[in-house]
Amino acid sequence: MAFSICLLSWSATEYRNQINAADQLINLQASIRWGTNFLLKAHNTSSNTLYTQVGDANRDHQCWERPEDMDTPPTLYKITSSSPGTEPAAEAAAALAAASIVFKGVDSNYSALLLNHSKSVDKYRGSYQGSCPFYCSYSGYQDELLWGAVWLYKASGDNAYLNYASNNEGWSQAANEFSGLLYTRDSSNLQYATSASMILLVYSNILTAARVNGVQCGSVNFSTSKIKDFAKSQVDYILGNNPMKMSYMVGFGSKYPTQLHHRGASLPSIYNHSAKIGCNDGYSTWYTSSKPNPNTHVGAIVGGPNSNDQFTDSRTDYSHLEPTTYINAAFVGSVAALIGQSKEENILFTLADV
């Protein structure tokens, strides 16, 4: 969640004018504030404690029930000075710092509060791997530390954070996948495609601002416009320009996934089915049903096609049918960038359509 909030905050700053022109800035700020309020509450009992998870994920994964019916244990997990978790702490620091930039000219007290929490949330070094109950880190905490440091530098202007990031630059790992649709791994691949597109569009802005026409990667030269076009091709692919001729965003276009791997969307609304649907009750009637979901989760982007650009609309296939906030959060940045471009090119494509 912290990563999603950080990406949304980045887009809100980088593409403020475009998002404002599409009348979405208030909505975006409200989404960010919802997330940062959650993080502030998770960091409220002491500056050394951050609550990192609510719920027993092992018990929870045995159920297919609606949020309204949830009856699995609301177990709380936290990191503390004696049981640290640098990955979530530094990720939260990044989100709070990035959001403090968003609110700087909007609500300066709130912005200062976010920055204060950002500075104090990550004090004790130790991998979350040692204490996490579920959804652990797979690559260590170095990437989160760099990410947190650069956002703290941007939010505070304090050179100590910049120096820290520069001195530890070697921790960053090069991302080097380029193909048709960007394909990194089979499970929820569109998260890599949306985040890479956002990065490429931001980077092309940086090149333009620095009056550089392109970048040399080994023996290949990528011009700024080629980088932009490539990122746009990813957005177009996701929205329908692909071998399956379908949109991977639910509710967009005429053909899109109808069997989202999502409990709220796949189970009937409490208004149509008021009786409780217990932990296991959702499986036989709804989870394995071949019918479309009763509820259309408009705007959700699924995991996407497999390595052969093929896609089977089947609810149980979570690698390809599950939506996540971090797929969508990165997509916001890409479409915001393209609003500006489409205006220039006079293409009829607005955030409101999405």
Any contact of residue 208 with ligand NAG (CB under 6 A)?
Answer: no
- What are the phi and psi torsion angles at 182 (to 5°)? -55, 125
Is residue 273 among the annotated active site residues? no
Q: What is the DSSP string of 103-136?
A: TTTT-HHHHHHHHHHHHHS--S---GGGT-SSS-
Is 322 known to be catalytic? yes
Nearest approach, Cβ of residue 274 and ligand NAG (Å): 11
**Does residue 269 interact with ligand NAG by CB under 6 A?**
yes
Q: Give the x/- contact pattern for ligand NAG in 225-264, rule: CB under 6 A.
A: ----------------------------------------
User: Which of these is catalytic: 87, 117, 122, 261?
Assistant: 261
Q: Is 313 tagged catalytic?
A: yes
Residue 219 makes CB contacts below 8 A (sequence gap 6+) with none
Q: How many residues bind ligand NAG (CB under 6 A)?
A: 14
Burial readout 173-191 (b: 16 or more C-beta within 10 A, e: otherwise): eeeeeeeebbbbeeebbbb
Rounded Cα gap, residues 167 and 176, in angstroms: 23
Shortest distance (Å) from residue 194 CB to ligand NAG: 28
Question: Minimum distance between the CB of residue 41 and ligand NAG, rounded to whole angstroms?
Answer: 8
Are 227 and 220 in contact by the 8 Å Cβ rule? The answer is no
List the one residue from 82, 179, 216, 274 that touches ligand NAG (CB under 6 A): 216
Q: Which residues contact 269 (CB under 8 A, 6 or more apart)?
A: 294, 295
For position 292 contacting ligand NAG by CB under 6 A, the verdict is no
| Residues from 303 through 332 that contact ligand NAG (CB under 6 A) | none
Length of the chain: 354
Q: What percent helix, strand, coil does the chain show, rounded to 5?
A: 50, 5, 45
Closer of 116 and 172 to ligand NAG (Cβ)? 116
Give the per-residue contact string, 101-140, with ligand NAG (x = CB under 6 A; - = no). Answer: --------x--xx--x------------------------
The least CB distance from residue 239 to ligand NAG, in Å, is: 26
Q: Within 10 Å of residue 122's Cβ, how many Cβ atoms?
A: 26
Closer to ligand NAG by Cβ: residue 67 or 170? 67
45 or 58: CB nearest ligand NAG: 45
Identified binder of ligand NAG from the candidate list 126, 264, 292, 294, rule CB under 6 A: 294
Best CA proximity match to 317, nearest among 304, 307, 329 = 304
**d(C-alpha 98, C-alpha 250), whole Å:** 29
Provide the strand spans (E) within 272-328: none
> What is the contact surface with ligand NAG in residues (CB under 6 A)?
44, 46, 109, 112-113, 116, 213-214, 216, 221, 269, 271-272, 294
Positions annotated as catalytic residues are 261, 313, 322
